[in-house]
Structures are given as C-alpha cells and as structure tokens.
Amino acid sequence: MIEVVECEAARRGNIWIAHLTQHGVFGCGRTLRATRRSVEEGLALLGIAADVELTPTSPELVTLRDAEAQYARALQAAVERLSRQGATLGDTSKATRLSVKRVKVLRGVAPAVAGNEPHPQECSGAGHLARQEVTHA
C-alpha cells in the first residue's frame, strides 16, 4: 500500500523547497509538480513508496486560507439565519450571491427550521398585506 505523505513547500527565489523532517528528505523544483517528484524520489531512495501532497505556504497564503475559512463560516451562518427566517432558496441565493444549488448544499449542512413563518408585525409591504387578506377571507 502506498502511503500518502503531506509536506509544506515554500518558495525561495525561483524554486520551491520542501522538507520532510520525519524522513530527513529535501526536495526542490521550479514547479510544485517537480518539487513533489523530487521529494518522492528522495523517499524512494530510502525505500519508502509514497505519494506526496505538497501544500504551498507563505505568510500571504496563510492569511488567504484564514480569510477563506472565515468567509466559509460567515456564509454558512448567513444561510442558516436566512433559512430560519423563512427566506426562499432564490432569495437566499440572491442575498449571498450563490447558486441555488450551492444554497441547497449549505442548507443541508444546517437543517432548516420547519414552520418558521414570520410574525405579521415583522413584515410590511403590499405583498404581505395581500397574502393576509386572502388568508383571512
């Protein structure tokens, strides 16, 4: 069975450098693909058959990944709240700038609260008033 080894790679000038401290293997290359092959070749010299998964890293990339994670959490919270408030898939899609399909996926993560109709005093506008008149007739 081929082992999967995770490794970080940092850019130094015009090359990527990766170091697997647990095996004492270094690898480098002009591209991430070349760097991965270099590390895999180093592992092979030690008799270790492994697929290497490189994660490019730099302070800017760490900041970017943190921002992506924060955005994902905020997006999930927004979809959950809109769902609890009874917003339609289309409205949630428009409000979050996501496809309806993506909204459905996010709603699947957080179950929608059934029967969560807004209180009549919380709504305004002719559409809501017309709906009230029809339901009371």
State which amino acid sits at residue 3. Answer: E
Q: How many CB atoms lie within 10 A of CB 43?
A: 21
Domains of the chain, by residue range, sit at 3-57, 62-136
Closest CA relative to residue 9, chosen from 1, 19, 18: 18
Per-residue pLDDT reduced to its tens digit, 39-88: 999 999 999 999 999 999 999 999 999 999 999 999 999 999 999 999 99
- Cβ-contact 27, 39 below 8 angstroms: yes
* pTM score of the predicted model: 0.62
